[in-house]
A and B are shown apart, each in its own frame.
Chain A
């Protein structure tokens, strides 16, 4: 009898507790007036600017730090901590292009009040190159004197490492002057100094806190926001920096939520828990056509191009004509409409619109044209397509990629009568195989690290270059690249790259398919959002200090 009453009363308490709690906590969290809530879609691995390499990390770092230079919405450079952008004209770049001098503003402060000086940049650049830290973007700064030697010093003694660090060509002749010496002139080094790996870092904070320096109270930056709270895998909160030296932000707080499932994030947006959300793949048509979302759509060019890459050492792709033929056999407009639900632009050239180097007339000779495709194949000796060796198309087995692969298979069959085998692979296995050349034809994408053809051509198409998986090798391209990298006359430089891009598209080691667009929904009460091609994981994150909420 006692046991039964006990059981019943326990049950009663349990259920009534649930009812009380749920009714007390009804409603949505955080519909406070001046909070911008966005979804980071996952926990960043770490938020140390020197070590950051993923888009999510970049989004966090760019709220808390400001560097020498930044990017405007049109992707031109803007002087932030630096007083002016170094050019040959204002003598901040030496005539031979080997010395770059940055003059810093004197009113820039860290969030704890101390002044930002050139020492902070020297420390940061050397830390970026420190072999013990193994920073992903270190190789972008190898043109600095002594940088590559220092970064490659992994096995050496501590004394050797210190000597190499001291030999790196960055110095601070005085508190507000930063001098960088290069091995060869590289006009785009100025642009690389606008990137996050060389944001200023406080040496005393790192020495004092070590690995714990990125935890909220210690995470000192010179940017418009402070990271006030980080509940791992749940959310990050940013409040405005009261000591910010620049224009004060208009709104109070940013919350980065970490909802990993795209559909759950969309549900959160619809439940007013998020102010900006990415449209999940597969639902694009609904949101494009639904009138209720007319003033909530945000669609803009990402600086990303997707292509199919050939392994030009494997038959039949060692024959240029076959590659060109396959490029002519793919209906890119159909791809955009059926596979991408109309989001994105068809691509026949490599460098995407929105950045210097984009040329809409490149590659048009290999646009969709089935007759030309067949003619090229015949010229290559394959008028009977059954003579072609078996073609295998590899890709990483995400749901989106499967649709793309099936589309390609359909196009090959429909337009040329070629049967290709699809080879889906697990993500990292796919990366490993591509990087070691174990593929014939693979899916491939590239996003800009910085908006310049420098970042899009030599590293991908130079002989033996790090990201050259196609094994493409063209001595004329290599010579042209070498000249263009050092060319200080910007017009001539871009003309050189244009020619280089033409060479590549003509030789067709890749078949470009589309330029990506980012499709997001933004609540109507979010004002002042500025999206750019250099945004990180969340759109508009480089200009959050101009966003405000009207409710």
Chain B
């Protein structure tokens, strides 16, 4: 298992290098630079800005400097937020996005798995139909529609929650719901399908014929085995939630990192783009690694060399 983890970590470094190179190249190939705006700056100012941020150096020198900085843990500077380094921006925003993402993840897991299992165990009853209907609805409603609807109903009409921002727990509720809706729907469907399949297995029939209580059969046999596909999607889902959703963060004004990537691209903020891309790649790779390790825990049949 240790050899497996070490190998994966080495692959991780290689992946990050490739991702950084591709992103860096694409960033500089795209038309438009950070200083282009409708009111053109004077050419001397543009020259001074390029010199200040090292943008007048050749491509490989810039990339080399970026990698060197990376070795020192420095992700670069942002042009959109000039008083902080990219590392500081990520460190300030990440805890908020992570808390929101984790809350949404737990909510999605609890709701998704519970309803998925309930639907499978009571297949073709009203529970099943309601569960499938809701999971289809929430999988189809776009995030921004759900977000604005929640704001209108619960803030403007009912005055139960504030419309957005961060700081008090009441501000987490609506964004977490908006964020959890889609993953919950997916998890419900996958849990349902997987549970249905597991229920038909021979060992479940054996367990029942042994006289075990239904509850025991459920938890000890069905639950654990039907969770494997769920874990497969839960890992990347967690990574996606923790790195933030630009839509939910924009609508609810959450000061996290979800918006940074998209904003950075529109502003051609090279430092911010590189920093967030690497950060995302890192988080996703780690999440996949954790998922693979979890397989070994859940399913004793899976062993790694």
* Chain A residues near B (Cβ < 8 Å): 3-4, 11, 14, 18, 21-22, 25-29, 43, 45-48, 51, 131-136, 138-139, 142, 148, 151-152, 154-155, 211-212, 214-215, 231-235, 257-261, 263-264, 267-268, 270-271, 273, 426-429, 431-435, 444-446, 466-467
Contacts and interface: CB of A to CB of B under 8 A. Distances in A.
Nearest to A396: B38
B253 A234 contact: yes
B164 interface: yes
A148 to B, nearest CB: 7
B21 interface: no
B188 to A, nearest CB: 17
A50 to B, nearest CB: 12
- Among all A-B residue pairs, the 7 with the closest Cβ atoms: A428-B32, A233-B255, A139-B42, A134-B48, A21-B169, A25-B170, A134-B49
B163 interface: yes
Contacts of A136: 41, 45
12 contacts: A4-B219, A51-B82, A132-B52, A138-B45, A151-B44, A154-B48, A215-B83, A232-B92, A260-B259, A264-B250, A428-B36, A428-B267
A432 B32 contact: yes
Contacts of A433: 31
A436 to B, nearest CB: 9
Contact of A43 (B36, B81, B106, B251): B81
A22 B173 contact: yes
A18 B161 CA distance: 12
A29 B169 contact: no
B165 interface: yes
B32 A429 contact: yes
B178 to A, nearest CB: 12
B95 to A, nearest CB: 12
B266 interface: yes
Contacts of B164: 259, 264, 268
Given A154-B48, A232-B81, A264-B251, A466 B163 contact: no
Majority DSSP secondary structure for residues of B touching A = loop
A235 B160 contact: no
A22 B170 contact: yes
B159 A138 contact: no
A45 B79 contact: yes
A28 B159 contact: yes
Contacts of B215: 4
A261 B251 contact: yes
A264 B38 contact: no
Contacts of B151: 264, 267
A271 B170 contact: no
A421 B252 CA distance: 38
Instruction: Give the interface centre of A25, A151, A258, A445 by most chain B CB atoms within 10 Å.
Output: A25
A290 B234 CA distance: 48
B253 A134 contact: no
Contacts of A446: 39
B155 interface: yes
B255 A234 contact: yes
Contacts of B45: 134-136, 138-139, 151
Given A234-B165, A234-B255, A259-B253, A148 B32 contact: no
Given A18-B173, A46-B82, 5 more contacts: A138-B45, A154-B51, A215-B83, A273-B163, A432-B36
A81 to B, nearest CB: 26
A186 B211 CA distance: 99
A211 B48 contact: no
A258 B205 CA distance: 58
A48 B151 CA distance: 35
A18 B82 CA distance: 38
A33 B145 CA distance: 34
Interface in B122-175: 148, 151-152, 155-156, 159-170, 173
B268 interface: yes
A257 B253 contact: yes
A308 B16 CA distance: 45
Contact of B156 (A271, A429, A434): A271
Contacts of A260: 250, 253, 259
Contacts of B155: 267-268, 271
A319 B144 CA distance: 47
Contacts of B52: 132-134
Interface in B226-250: 250
A138 B42 contact: yes
Nearest to B93: A233
A211 B42 contact: no
